[in-house]
Structure 1
Amino acid sequence: MTTPPGPVQAEPEAARPTSLSPSRASDFMQCPLLYRFRVIDRLPEKPSEAATRGTLVHAVLERLFDHPAAERTAPRAKALIPGQWDRLLESKPELSELFAEDDGGERLARWLGEAESLVERWFTLEDPTRLEPVEREFFVEAELESGLRLRGIIDRVDVAPTGEVRIVDYKTGKAPRAEYADGALFQMKFYALVVWRLRQVLPRRLQLVYLGSGDVLTYDPVMGDLERVERKLLALWEAIREATDSGEWRPRPTKLCGWCDHRAVCPEFGGTPPVYPLPVVRRDGAEGAPGGAAAERPAGE
C-alpha cells in the first residue's frame, strides 16, 4: 500500500516590508542586498554555534529571574543550561544540525561549557539578587507620526523606585573598540526611542553587558539623541522603500562578507540573486511584473 505524501510546506509569500527592527536596520546599513535576502526573499540561513550560544545564554539569564532573589546564584544559573538547551532544540529542531557529526559529544560538551563560562561571568558584572526587572524579553512596537512602525525585543527593563528607566542588553561577544561604540549603541538608542514613543519616558540609562570580555558599556541618552535616531531611521526607511519599489538592492562588500550565508547568490562573488519576487514600480508610478528588468540588473552594477 502506497503511503500518500504529506502536505507540502509552502514557501512564505514575499511581501513589502512593513516595519523596522534594530537587526534589520543594521542589515540594510551593512549591505542592502543582505536586507533583501533576509526580508524580501527570506532565504534560509544555517544556524551558527555563536548565535545559538547567545540565544541559549539569553534564555538562561531570563529564566533565572523566575527564582527568588536569594536563589539567583551562578550554580543555579548554570544548572538551567541543559534544560534551556533542550527547549531550544524542541522549538527549533534544525539546531541539532550544529552537532550532527559530533559522535562523541565532545564539541557539544565544549560548547555548553563555553555557555557556562559566559553565564558565570555575568555574576561578576551584575548582582541579580539586587535586581527585580520590570520586563524581560520585552517585545515593543511603536508607530511614528510618519507611519513607520518600529519593533524589537529588549532583554531587560529595570525601573528604579524613583521611576527612572534602565534598558539592558546582553551581548555574548566582546566589547567593541572605542571608535565603534556608537554603532554598538545604535540598537539601544533605537529601543530608547520606542520606549519614549510608547510611554513618553526618556530612559535614564542604556546599558550593554558584554559577557565575552567582561565589560559594561553605559550611556545616558538625551532627547537630542532620540531625535537624531528618529531622523536616521526615517531616512533609512525611505531608502528601503525606494529599493523595494525599484528592485535595486546593491551589495556593499565588507570584511563581514566572509561570514555571509548568501555568497552563492551574491553578484560580488559571481552569483545571481533569485528573481525579484515583488512587482517593480517604475518612476511613473506604474507597476511591472515581479522580476522585471530593474529587478534583474546585477545589484553591483
Structure 2
Amino acid sequence: MVCVRLSVAGRRVCVMDSATENCAGGAPGPAVGRGGRPAGPGRPASLSPSRAADFMQCPLLYRFRVIDRLPEKPSAAATRGTVVHAVLERLFDAPAADRTAVRARGLVPGEWEKLLASRPELAQLFQGEDGAQDPALLATWLGEAERLVERWFSLEDPTRLEPAERELFVETVLEDAGASGLTLRGIVDRVDVAPTGDVRIVDYKTGKAPAPRYREGALFQMMFYALVIWRLRGRVPRRLQLVYLGSGDVLTYDPVEAELLAVERKLRALWEAISLATDTGDWRPRPTKLCGWCDHQAVCPEFGGTPPPYPLPLPGQRGGPSGGASGGPAVPAGEEQGRMDPV
C-alpha cells in the first residue's frame, strides 16, 4: 500500500493505492465540485496519467504546468521519444511483410522533419556553443533514435501484429465525482485485441526499465489506461505491456477488477486534492531529487524564487489574481499585481 500525504490549505489529504486500508491521520476532504469543468482561466478540466503523476510528485509543479502553463525548455530525450513513437505508429501502415528494421530506420529522418516543421523551436536542441546549427549533433541524435527503433524488432515481431488501435485517444467520465464527474483522458500507444476479445495495452518507453522498486510509477500509468478502457468497453484488459527500448526489456502485468477499482479511488482522491488546491490557491512544493530536472526553479520558493501571481480568483475575492506560493490573502483594492496570461 502506498499512501501519499499532501498538504493542501493546511490540511492533509491522503491519496492511496490500497483497496482495503485507510490512511492513518488522513481526513477526507470536501466533495469535489464542478468536476473539473473550466470555471476560470487555466482551471483544471481533466486528469491524465502525466498530470496525475505531476501532482503526486509536486503540487506546485502541477500548478505551473496546468494552471500557469509556464513554458519549459525542449528536451532532446523527450523529442527523440516523440519521433520514435511516430515511427512505430507509421510502420503499421505498411503490409506485414514490409515491416522491417530497415524500413523503420528509414522513417526516422522524415518523422523528425515533420515534427520540426510543426515545432521550429526544437532546432535549438542541435545548436553549437556559437549558436549555429551543428549537423554532427543532429546526426548523433538521429542515430540514437534509429538504434532505439531497431531494438524494438528484437522485442516484438511487427509482421505478426495487427494492432486494433494506434495512438488511441481515450476519454471517460467517472460519475459521482462532483456535479459533472471526473474526466479521465490519455493517449494509448497501441491496443491489441485477440480473437477471443482479450485486450492488451502496449506502451513504448525509450528509456531504460526502472529497478523493481521504482516500477510503480510506470504501472500506475498503465493501470490508468486500463481503467479508462474498462469503463469504455466493459471488459478489464487482459494484459498491460511496457516495452523499454532503452534497455531491451518487456514488462507485463495482468490487472484484475479489484485493482482497477483501487486506482479509481486513488484518482478520485487525487482530484479532490487538486480541486481543493485550485479553489484555495494552496499549492505546496514537494522537494525531491527530481527537482534538479525541473525548469521552474527560478519561480520555486524552495530555490528562493517567487511564483507568478495566482491567475484564478480565490474565496473572498471578486476576481483577479493573488500572489505568493500558495495563493495567500486577497490584496487590497488598487494594489493588485499584474496577471500572468497562459503561454
Counting only pairs closer than 5 Å after superposition, residues 34-183 of structure 1 correspond to structure 2 as 34-101=61-128, 103-145=133-175, 146=177, 147-183=181-217
Matched residue, 1:262: 296
DSSP-derived class of the 1:57 partner: helix
Report which structure shows greater RCO (CA 8 Å, sep ≥6).
Answer: 2
Gap change, CA 1:97 and 1:224, over 3 Å in 2: same
The answer as to whether partners of 1:154 and 1:191 remain within 8 angstroms in 2 is yes
How many residues of Structure 1 are paired with residues of Structure 2 in the alignment? Answer: 282
DSSP-derived class of the 1:212 partner: coil
2:320 & 2:97 partners in 1: Cα distance?
62
DSSP-derived class of the 2:246 partner: coil
2:156 & 2:318 partners in 1: Cα distance?
54
Identical residues among aligned pairs (%): 74
Give the alignment's TM-score, normalised by structure 1: 0.91
Gap change, CA 1:271 and 1:141, over 3 Å in 2: same
Q: Deviations over 1:135-167 (max 9, x none)?
A: 000000000012000000000000011110000
Matched residue, 2:327: 295
Q: Deviations over 1:91-128 (max 9, x none)?
A: 11111111133644111111001001100110000000
The answer as to whether partners of 1:275 and 1:296 remain within 8 angstroms in 2 is no
Give 2:204's aligned amino acid: Y
2:133 & 2:68 partners in 1: Cα distance?
35
Give 1:197's aligned amino acid: R
Give 1:54's aligned amino acid: G
Give 2:83's aligned amino acid: L
DSSP-derived class of the 1:275 partner: coil
Where in structure 2 are there 5+ consecutive unaligned residues? 1-39, 330-343
DSSP-derived class of the 1:169 partner: strand
DSSP-derived class of the 2:123 partner: helix
DSSP-derived class of the 1:184 partner: helix
The answer as to whether partners of 1:14 and 1:41 remain within 8 angstroms in 2 is no
1:193 & 1:136 partners in 2: Cα distance?
18
1:62 & 1:218 partners in 2: Cα distance?
20
Matched residue, 1:250: 284
Q: Deviations over 1:42-74 (max 9, x none)?
A: 000010100000001000000000000000000
Give 1:249's aligned amino acid: W
2:159 & 2:319 partners in 1: Cα distance?
60
The answer as to whether partners of 1:281 and 1:288 remain within 8 angstroms in 2 is no
1:279 & 1:262 partners in 2: Cα distance?
23
1:52 & 1:142 partners in 2: Cα distance?
28
Q: 1:28 aligned to 15, 31, 55, which one?
A: 55
The answer as to whether partners of 1:136 and 1:156 remain within 8 angstroms in 2 is yes
DSSP-derived class of the 2:215 partner: helix
CA shift for structure 1 position 169: 0.2
Give 1:234's aligned amino acid: R
DSSP-derived class of the 1:125 partner: coil
Give 1:295's aligned amino acid: G
Where in structure 1 are there 5+ consecutive unaligned residues? 1-12
Larger % of helix: which?
Answer: 1
1:207 & 1:63 partners in 2: Cα distance?
20
1:240 & 1:189 partners in 2: Cα distance?
20
RMSD: 1.5
2:103 & 2:164 partners in 1: Cα distance?
21
DSSP-derived class of the 1:47 partner: coil
Matched residue, 1:7: none
The answer as to whether partners of 2:240 and 2:254 remain within 8 angstroms in 1 is yes
